[in-house]
Amino acid sequence: MNLSEHLSKEILAQYGVAIPTGRLATSAEEAEASCREIDSAKYVVKAQIGAGGRGLVGGIKFAATPSAVRAEAGKLIGKRLVTDQTGASGEMVNSVYVEEAIDIAHSYYLSLAFNQHDGQPVLLCSDKGGVEFEQAARMDPAIVSHLTLPSDGGFDESAVGSFLEKVGISGNARDGVMAIAKGAAKAFFDNDATLVEINPLAVRKDGSAVAVDAKISLDGNALFRHPEFDDSTGDGQLEEQERIAQENDINFVKMSGNIGVIVNGAGLGLATNDMVVDAGGKPANFMDIRTTTTSLQIAKGINMLLQDPNVTVVLVNVHGGGMTACDTVAEGFAIAYSRSNRKPPVVVRLAGTNAEWAVNVLRNRRLNFDSFDTMGEAVGRAVEIARAGRA
């Protein structure tokens, strides 16, 4: 669960991390008015979206006066920003964050995350912080230094101090960066975060350090320990369909094609998606029915797909395993299909546990469908129907 910039900073501030003075605004007028509460000679207006990369596509604007803030906010709010981390349709900007502009003497990158190799928390730091950090780090991972932290949340100041020295942060700046690292680490452990990222971490000419941009991702699996973060804490960028799917225990990602795809299991879903695209088709979605999903929940998920005007054919690829039997999916499918007034052609490939039974469930409901034994054949037929428009 990705938190917005302003929420991430609010949390970090509670842990003693220095942040610029800022206000959230949902309209150009509000943005202008918020300048009165910000003691600064110039301002920054930042689009609040969940994805990163906004700095490179005009999502961060400097403004010298409150009226310039108003103008920039007006241009950003209500616009969709497309960055290299959003989809092609981008993300809607519903609000902006107006901040004092910081005179940056040097930009660092600092984050806390998990090292996948040993599963231990790690502090990452680089003296090449800023909007182009990610691209630079991808080109040359050696610009980032790592320090493994104890998994129980302990923070050894002398170890972190010599680590920061190694990164090239010394003197006045070191104390400020240390305070930020300490607060960020505590926020990481206390809140079950999977990522706390500060970029840029700015050091001013006087050596004081401040978190100019921040991003926190929380572990959705740990929310039972954090009733303070309810669903509204997220970045709110879920499409309506994705929200319905989530409520029904289905992993759903909306895509731009016309083939509605229903599978059980993430791996099988990715495999099916690959095969559809390889065959020249365009999936309308990724829908993975979780193992604990009931047939009624499946019906709700499938109904959503049937109602999608972009979907011209539905491909059901289920391998009944130890937890999801084919007939559960077939039952859910049959319920949704018989109730729906929109009935696109259906191609199924059912294998594994209770596959034959599942085919009978569909037949008994007098559903019109093509059934195949292999994924390749089913995918091929679905793509063919999608191309023809109608079966």
Partner 1 sequence: MAILVGPDTRVIVQGMTGRSGTFYTDLAIRYGSTYVGGVRPGKGGSTHIGLPIFNTVKEAAEATQANASMVMVPASKAGAALIEAIEAEIPLVVCVTERVPVHDISKVKAALQGSSTVLVGPNSQGVLTPGSCKIGVMATTDATPGSIGIASRSASLTSEILAQTSAVGLGQSTTVGVGGDPVHGIGFRQCLELFKDDPETKGVILIGEVGGTEEEDAADYLNSVDYGKPVVALIVGRHAPKERRMGHAGTLSLFGLQSAEEKIDRLASAGVIIADNADDVAAAMQAALEG
Compute the distance between CA of residue 94 and CA of residue 350 in angstroms, rounded to an integer.
43
d(CA 277, CA 323): 28
Inter-residue contact 359 to 327 (CB < 8 Å): no
E strands, the chain, in order = 22-25, 43-47, 60-63, 80-81, 91-92, 96-100, 106-114, 121-126, 145-148, 193-203, 209-211, 214-218, 250-254, 259-263, 285-289, 313-320, 346-352, 369-371
Q: Token digits for 282?
A: 């365009």
Which of 71, 268, 359, 367 contacts partner 1 by CB under 8 A? 268
State the minimum distance, in angstroms, from the CB of residue 45 to partner 1: 24
Confirm or reject binding of residue 264 to partner 1 (CB under 8 A). yes
| Alpha-carbon distances of 297 from 227, 283, 289, 325, 342, rounded to whole Å | 25, 22, 9, 15, 19
Per-residue x/- marks for partner 1, 83-102, CB under 8 A?
A: -xxxx---------------
Taking alpha carbons only, the member of 191, 156, 144, 133 closest to residue 3 is 191
Residue 57, Cβ density class (10 Å: 0-12 exposed, 13-18 middle, ≥19 buried)? middle
Identify which of residues 14 and 151 has a Cβ nearer to partner 1 in the complex. Answer: 151
Do 174 and 161 touch, CB atoms closer than 8 A? yes
Active site residue 337: no
Give the residue, chosen from 139, 266, 296, 388, that forms a contact with partner 1 under the rule CB under 8 A. Answer: 266
Residue 76, classified by CB atoms within 10 Å of its CB into exposed (0-12), middle (13-18) or buried (19+), is buried
Catalytic residue among 109, 132, 242, 384: 109
- Of 101 and 195, which has the nearer Cβ to partner 1? 195
- Give the interface segment with partner 1, choosing from 13-21, 97-105, 110-118, 205-213 (CB under 8 A): 110-118
Q: Which of residues 47-86 bind partner 1 (CB under 8 A)?
A: 51, 84-86
- The yes or no reply on residue 152 touching partner 1 (CB under 8 A) is yes
Q: Which of 36, 138, 366, 390 touches partner 1 (CB under 8 A)?
A: 138
Q: Which of 20, 129, 265, 344 binds partner 1 (CB under 8 A)?
A: 265
Rounded distance, CA 155 to CA 196, Å? 15
The answer to the question of residue 277 lying near partner 1 (CB under 8 A) is yes
* Catalytic option among 5, 99, 197, 331: 197
Preceding omega of 150 cis (within 30 degrees of 0): no
Using CB under 8 A as the binding criterion, the count of chain residues that bind partner 1 stands at: 62
Closest approach of Cβ 149 to partner 1, in Å? Answer: 10
Smallest distance, Å, CB 208 to partner 1? Answer: 28
Q: Which of residues 306-345 bind partner 1 (CB under 8 A)?
A: 319-323
CB neighbour list of residue 7: distance below 8 Å, 6 or more residues apart: 216, 233
228 part of the interface to partner 1, by CB under 8 A: no
Counting contacts by CB under 8 A, is residue 248 touching partner 1? no
Task: Answer yes or no whether residue 199 interacts with partner 1 by CB under 8 A.
Answer: no
Cβ nearer to partner 1, comparing 202 with 379: 379
How far from 9 is each of 180, 184, 188, 245, 348, CA to CA, in Å? 12, 10, 13, 30, 48
Site string for partner 1, 347-386 (x = CB under 8 A): ----xxx--------------------xxx----------
Among 36, 39, 118, 389, binds partner 1 (CB under 8 A): 118
Q: Are 369 and 381 in contact (CB under 8 A)?
A: no
Among residues 5, 32, 72, 288, the one that binds partner 1 under rule CB under 8 A: 288
Q: How far apart are CA 49 and CA 4, in angstroms?
A: 7
179 binds partner 1 (CB under 8 A): no
Candidates 279, 284, 253; CA nearest to 266 is 253
In the complex with partner 1, which residue's Cβ is closer, 237 or 340?
A: 237
109 part of the active site = yes
Q: Can you tell me which of 114, 155, 357, 369 binds partner 1, judged by CB under 8 A?
A: 114
Question: CB–CB of 77/96 below 8 Å?
Answer: yes
Residues catalogued as catalytic: 109, 197
Q: Which residues in this chain contact partner 1 in the complex, by CB under 8 A?
A: 51, 84-87, 111, 113-121, 124, 138, 150-152, 189, 192, 194-195, 219, 221-222, 224-225, 251, 253, 255, 263-278, 286, 288, 291, 319-323, 351-353, 374-376
